[in-house]
Amino acid sequence: MSVPKFCFVIHPVSLEDVARYEPGAKGKGAPIVRKILERMPSWTAVHVTGVRTPDGRETEGGFVADGLLPEQMLAFPREDVYARILRAIDLGVALGAQIAGLGAFTGVVGDGGVTIAERAPIPVTTGNSLTIAAGLQSLLRGAREMGVDPAEATVVVVGATGSIGSACVRLLSRSVGRVILVARNATRLRKLHEQIADELPCPSEATTDVSAAVRRAQLVLTATSSTQDVIQPEDLQTGAVVCELSLPHDVSRRVAALRPDVLVTEGGNMLVPGEPRFERVREPGSEFDLNLPPRTALACMSETMVLALEQRFESYTLGRGIDLAKVVEMEAMAARCGFTLGGMRAFDAAITPEKIAATRAAARERRARVLA
């Protein structure tokens, strides 16, 4: 019986990230790197093996790469970007892939994967269903660690009009005290809020002012397609919890230096079952640096693996409007396959129990100074 196979489209999310893909790029000037990336054809970057469920099912696959940076994907003609993504998927098909996942901005550009799915030779998913499930688990885990009661808390969702953000608004509203929707496009934001406000089980409001909204929130979830910092240290409440689902990151690195009383966590990481290996194709025997701990993959990657393991060869999560039932179903499928929430991380480093204790202590001290 053949092992089901998948492919997943990846690309560097920053200039600093390029060296993980092509070590030879290290030290070269930004203009040269950008031009090289623009001209590079897609390539097969990683062979993934060792993904095995507790009941013995296996999958294997490949990460197929396109070289464009996020800002290039947004700036270039859409048809050109689509063509590059489809060429990458074709490489996966040549390796036997039966389903393709769209990573980072390849699942954002255009219509959220719909056109790619229509043109691709195999089914396609953005992985957003499992990303949403993992993000909500991560935010609520952070709330528990910081002693924040979600039922009494105000939560801000930044990027609320996106496919991930709008689903997070609907799901979070079931367990929080108030939800504030934040997005850049005022017209789209107003329309979304008018459409869903009466359906939400908690009070809600909408604003384009990120700073003002964050200043009122105990819990913050970010799911934007921004290439700039969105969350600044001066806006965060004492003891706030921030969960970011975006790549590139939404939270300014100044938060790590200036706000030791705030817990920031990356929301979309999963522990992969079995003994997964991510081997570089061009340098056999060497591991591809996912910039994550061992056995850990992004939730969007993990959704693609889950669909292969379950032999659900269908275009699962696509477009701007995500079916909440699919989020629940994917969460159950991932659990059945042995995927679990990854360890807490922020700013590319692990959050240890000692770090969490220090964050709680810093929050107590800051509150005490305010009251003194």
Chain centroid offset of residue 168 CA: 13
Locate 243 and state its tokens.
Answer: 């969960």
My answer on whether omega of the bond before 41 falls inside 30° of 0, hence cis, is no
- Asked if 143 and 171 count as a contact pair (C-beta separation under 8 A), the reply is no
In which order are the strands placed within the sheet that holds 124-125? 124-125, 99-102, 5-10, 58-65, 43-52, 274-280
**Pairing state of beta strands 178-182 and 154-158?**
parallel
What is the predicted pLDDT for the residue at 372?
67
What is the predicted pLDDT for the residue at 321?
84
| Of 274, 241, 240, residue with least CA distance to 344 | 241
Chain centroid offset of residue 185 CA: 21
What is the enclosing helix (H) or strand (E) of 122? Answer: none
State the CB neighbour count (10 A cutoff) for residue 53.
Answer: 18
CA atoms within 13 A on the CB side of 335: 9
φ, ψ at 224 (rounded to 5°): -105, 170
Q: What is the reported pTM?
A: 0.91
- Asked if 128 and 317 count as a contact pair (C-beta separation under 8 A), the reply is yes
Q: Tens-of-pLDDT digits for all 372 residues of the chain?
A: 689 999 999 998 888 888 787 777 677 778 888 888 888 899 999 999 999 999 999 999 999 999 898 889 888 999 999 999 999 999 999 999 999 999 988 988 878 899 999 999 999 999 999 999 999 999 999 999 999 999 999 999 999 998 899 999 999 999 999 999 999 999 999 999 999 999 999 999 999 999 999 999 999 999 987 778 889 999 999 999 999 987 667 889 999 999 999 999 988 899 999 999 999 998 889 999 888 899 999 999 999 999 999 999 999 999 888 999 999 999 999 999 999 999 999 987 889 999 999 999 999 999 998 876
Locate 138 and state its tokens.
Answer: 């991560």
CA distance 350 to 225: 24
In which order are the strands placed within the sheet that holds 263-266? 204-207, 178-182, 154-158, 219-222, 241-244, 263-266
Radius of gyration of the chain (CA): 20
Q: DSSP letter at 107?
A: G
pLDDT tens for 216-269 read 999 999 998 777 888 999 999 999 999 998 766 788 999 999 999 999 998 889
Domain coordinates of the chain in residue numbers?
5-129+270-341, 135-268+345-371
SS3 of 80, please?
Answer: helix
pLDDT tens for 144-182 read 999 999 999 999 999 999 889 999 999 999 999 999 999
| Of 183, 177, 170, 221, residue with least CA distance to 203 | 177
| Of 90, 130, 74, 58, residue with least CA distance to 299 | 130
In 3-state terms, the chain is what percent helix, strand and coil (to 5)? 40, 20, 35
CA distance 76 to 287: 31
| Of 188, 306, 144, 167, residue with least CA distance to 245 | 167
SS3 of 186, please?
Answer: helix
CATH number of 135-268+345-371: 3.40.50.720
- Asked if 298 and 268 count as a contact pair (C-beta separation under 8 A), the reply is yes
φ, ψ at 213 (rounded to 5°): -70, -45
What is the predicted pLDDT for the residue at 22?
76
**Pairing state of beta strands 345-346 and 349-350?**
antiparallel
